[in-house]
Amino acid sequence: MAVDFLQENEKVLLKIERVIGEGFKQKFIEEVKIVEGIKIVDIVPQLVNVRTIVKEGKVIVQGTLHKQIFYVGTDGLEHHVAEDIDFSELIEVEPVDPAIPVTTGMNETTTAFVENLIFEFDPDTGELIQKVIIGIEVIVTQTEELFVATDILGPVIKAQVVIGRGEKQKFIRQEKNLEAIKIVDIVPRLNNIRLHVKNGKVIVQGVLHKQIFYVGLDNVVHHVAEDIPFSDLVEVIPLDPSLPAREGMNARNHSVIENLVWEFDPDTGQLIQKVIIRLSLQVTETQEVAVALNPYGVLVATEVVIGRGRKQKFIEESKILDAIKIVDIVPSLRDVTSIVKKRVDVMQLYPCQ
């Protein structure tokens, strides 16, 4: 097999979901109830509120089977009744590589659907027996950066192309007074991080939240919380100098608190806190990429581009203004919504260094 597409200028770094494992299981639900009817017209099942939790080697799936039962009552009229049945199931996940098992906190994509529903109804007793088979398919993934080979004849995927990264240390010093004899602990956390990409840089804004536990003058442990807003500008080093980070691109935060030290003087109650935050971020751009497939390559879960559509919409409006001149009209689109069935495919890509 020729691999001449593995040239330096024909590979791209993607932030992509690498498949760790897959699992499938059927869930059987049987219910018996009494309906005051002479005929069942239809039963329409639907799965709602499906929730998942990834655990060691397994995925817990919980949800609700919602059914709408249409029947002809003993009065000869058509009636409707709705009912919900909660369910839960444990799905074993078979790892792609036994050396990389499924662990808590990994990402997942779950597809749950009603495979079949049959019912039996006895009009003499009103007994309705419903049997439902639910199919549950889970794909467990892990977000990774992966260089993949491109191929103009390969499938087109919609993926996050890595543009660049940036890192910077942020030092915060704060002094305050406490009526205390001892500091027990200070627990810091980063909250409400907001990122805005701008001309090769990223504006980082957030809040340093701290919980201070101390022994007061009454020898009782007290707690006080405080928030310190911060902001900084982080330069993004592009992978390709000709493709710098620009407004409209995506930014992902990986910032952490590197260190926190404090000094406390019980005689004066002065508390000095010094915090070092490592601002770490990555800039990506959503692109359509034609990738090379390889049956022995890396298994990934990704959105596949099926097609594109375009249409012009003409809007004309007339209105009366008490004015002598129009300076400008600034249009913008807001609250644009669409309905489309999301498709995630599993495929093997050609990794390269």
pLDDT at residue 339, rounded to an integer: 67
Confidence of residue 275 (pLDDT cuts 50, 70, 90): very high
Residue 9 DSSP SS3: helix
Residue 234 has pLDDT above 90, yes or no: yes
Q: What is the pLDDT of residue 146?
A: 87
Q: What is the pLDDT of residue 9?
A: 44
> How confident is residue 8, by pLDDT bands cut at 50, 70 and 90?
very low
Nearest one of 226, 161, 132 to 187, comparing CA atoms: 226
Question: Which DSSP category does 351 fall into?
Answer: B
CA 128 to chain centre: 41
Q: Which of 10-24, 267-281, 312-326, 338-352 is predicted least confidently?
A: 338-352
pLDDT score at 300: 85
- The 8-class DSSP code of residue 305 comes to P
Task: Give percent of the chain with pLDDT exceeding 90.
Answer: 73
Rounded to an integer, the average pLDDT of 4-11 is: 52
Q: Which residue has the higher pLDDT, 4 or 159?
A: 159
Mean pLDDT (whole number) for 261-287 = 94
Q: 112 near 25, Cβ under 8 Å?
A: no
Decide if pLDDT at 1 tops 70: no
Which residues, in sequence order, are CB contacts of 164 under 8 Å at separation 6+? Answer: 236, 237, 238, 239, 244, 245, 282, 283
Per-residue pLDDT, 149: 86
Instruction: Give the C-alpha separation, 53 to 215, whole Å.
Output: 39
Distances (CA, A) of 71 to 36, 116, 189, 287: 9, 19, 56, 51
The 10s digit of each residue's pLDDT in 46-81 is 999 999 999 999 999 999 999 999 999 999 899 999
Inform me whether the pLDDT recorded for 7 exceeds 60.
no
- Say what the pLDDT of residue 23 is: 95
203 token code pair: 């504006």
For the record, the structure tokens of 148 come out as 């993949």
| DSSP code of residue 341 | -
Q: Mean pLDDT across the chain, nearest whole number?
A: 90
Confidence of residue 350 (pLDDT cuts 50, 70, 90): low
Q: What is the pLDDT of residues 206-216, one digit of tens each?
A: 999 999 999 99
Two tokens, residue 337: 């919504």
Helices (H), 28-81: none
- Kindly list the strands in the beta sheet with 78-92, ordered across the sheet, starting from the edge strand earlier in the chain: 37-55, 58-73, 78-92
Judged against a pLDDT cut of 70, whether residue 166 lies above it is answered with yes
CA distance 235 to 201: 4
Residues in the chain: 353
Listed in sequence order, the residues at least 6 apart from 331 whose beta carbon sits closer than 8 Å to its beta carbon are: none
pLDDT digits (tens, 9 = 90+) for 286-311: 988 888 888 878 888 888 887 778 88
- Calculate ∠ Cα 227-211-180, nearest 5°: 110
pLDDT digits (tens, 9 = 90+) for 77-135: 999 999 999 999 999 999 999 999 999 989 999 999 999 999 999 999 999 999 999 99
β-partners of residue 168 are 279
Q: In this predicted structure, what is the pLDDT of residue 4? A: 40
The rounded distance, in Å, linking the Cα atoms of 42 and 320 is 55
